[in-house]
């Protein structure tokens, strides 16, 4: 009789082990599925185009006022899991294929505060602005800079930053009325 109980105990223990293993596997897969299916939060941080300036080597620098609408500070460092992409007008597609596309410096935006950040993009080689950058009226300066940007980057609609850790999506609008 003891011989019959031995195999039954082994079968029961194997069943329990398999059941526990399947429960753990199901929980892990559910957690992974939940994490990867979370929506991007596009309201936590809002970027507004402040101005565009001609930087070193005729590179256009897009200056953005970044507003942190959350109750905690937001930081991007050299090792942050973020991806900055270009948004184009044609077919509204994004492209991460610009090797030089990066934020100029790591930045931090305190909770419920603003910070000015810079995205250098597009060489304006061969283009000339009539007059000095600070000459004429403000409206004239803006019109010249818009013309320069449109000539240097005719298909640019803006930029999008994806923070994979916090699931933030930050839309940096282009020059057309500050919207994308």
Q: What is the pLDDT of residue 133?
A: 47
- The Cα 116–Cα 107 span in angstroms is 9
Comparing 96 with 85, which gets the higher pLDDT? 85
Comparing 16 with 100, which gets the higher pLDDT? 16
7 token code pair: 């195999």
88 token code pair: 């184009």
| pLDDT 10s digits, 89-127 | 876 667 765 545 677 789 999 999 999 999 988 777 555
Residues in a beta bridge with 51 = 63
Q: What is the pLDDT of residue 132?
A: 44
Average pLDDT over residues 145-157: 84
Q: How does DSSP classify residue 18?
A: H
């Amino acid at each position: 009789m003891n011989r019959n109980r031995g195999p039954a105990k082994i079968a029961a223990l194997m069943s329990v082990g398999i059941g526990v293993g399947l429960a753990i596997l199901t929980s892990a897969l559910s957690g992974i599925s939940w994490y990867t299916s979370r929506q991007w939060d596009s309201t936590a941080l809002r970027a507004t185009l402040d101005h565009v300036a001609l930087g070193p080597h005729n590179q256009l620098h897009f200056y953005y006022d970044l507003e942190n609408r959350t109750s905690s500070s937001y930081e991007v460092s050299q090792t942050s899991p973020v991806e900055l992409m270009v948004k184009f007008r044609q077919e509204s597609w994004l492209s991460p294929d610009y090797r030089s596309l990066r934020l100029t410096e790591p930045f931090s935006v305190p909770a419920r505060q603003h910070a000015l950040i810079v995205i250098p993009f597009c060489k304006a080689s061969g283009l000339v602005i009539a007059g000095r950058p600070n000459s004429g009226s403000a409206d004239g300066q803006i019109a010249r800079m818009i013309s320069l940007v449109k000539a240097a980057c005719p298909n640019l609609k803006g930029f999008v930053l994806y923070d994979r850790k916090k699931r933030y999506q930050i839309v940096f609008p282009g020059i057309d009325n500050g919207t994308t």
